[in-house]
Amino acid sequence: MEPAWVKKLDGDLRKRVQRADMPAGSDLMKATLTHEPFADPDWLYERKLDGERILAIKDRDRVRLLTRNDKDAGDTYPELIDALGQQQTERFAVDGEVVAFEGSLTSFSRLQQRMQVNDAEQARASRIAVFFYLFDILNLDGFAVTALPLRQRKQLLREALQFEDPLRLLPHRNRDGKALLREACEKGWEGLIAKDANARYQHTRSRKWLKFKCTRGQEMVIGGFTDPKGSREGFGALLLGYYEGERLRYAGKVGTGFDDRMLQDLRERMNALRREESPFADEVPEEGIHFIDPELVGEVGFTEWTRDGRLRHPRFLGLRRDKKPQDVVREDT
């Protein structure tokens, strides 16, 4: 029997909704970086959050949280499992971002302290409060809704769930994209996401979603490290790279943004990945270097790319577990 919301859809939209199992993995839609802000009544605009992308799936009594590379995040965010499990709607799959705040701004560095916890009891005792901002829905009541226009999906999302902390509905604007980007940058936001309001949900990177950044930064693959100097422990700097096809291109090193605990934890992880040969396609002009298998991904902020393809003034923000190393490419061209 069809639920009431399906029966309310007009003929064309109703044909786009099909019965389907809940998603088996988190093959999520991703935005394309651009530098040309615009205002268009057929697009809507959302705040770009600095957190961890999560697909949440509730299938009656079972709730799952999946990162972008299909890792289970339920023990990291047990309060989100509770909040989603208490929803009256029994079956849904929703897309959103988990964030932690530093004042009024989302902080990936602060969230990092929760992302490294994989024990539900420890996570509940953490002083790092997290919030789950939802912005899209993929399945509702056993029906795939990805073929519906974005505006219709957002309406279904609003009606399907009750939004009380730690669950929040990500607000959007329907116009004034240029003005909103200026406002976002003045407030210190990470940036803005523009979305084609009439587009379906695509399980890939798409130009139907565009991202504008107020500050430069992106994921980087960690391919090695340098020896620590002076009284510093752990390591001196991380060797960074990005993929160009199947080649890992060297993008420079980062030696700032670490506290003592992170230096020790990262060194332990990297020790388990040590290798003799360089994973980079380019020469690494550094001293005291050690290479590792390129399995770790970090978030790095920087001021610009140099002419020879290196990061200028990079700073390490934290490890990412929701990104496959092979998916890390140079975004800012």
Catalytic center residues: 48
Of 177, 197, 159, 141, whose CA–CA distance to 47 is shortest?
Answer: 177
Do residues 157 and 170 lie in contact, with contact meaning Cβ atoms separated by under 8 Å?
no
Q: Report the run of H or E that residue 205 belongs to, with start and end.
A: strand 205-213
Instruction: Say how far apart CA 165 and CA 192 lie, in whole Å.
Output: 23
CA-to-CA separations, 131 to 3, 81, 190, 216, 272, in angstroms, rounded: 30, 12, 17, 24, 33
Instruction: Say how far apart CA 220 and CA 40 lie, in whole Å.
Output: 33
Q: HSE, CB side, 13 Å, CA atoms: give it for residue 44.
A: 17
HEC per residue, 104-131? CEECHHHHHHHHCCCCHHHHHHCCCCCE
Q: What are phi and psi of 63, to 5 degrees?
A: -120, 135
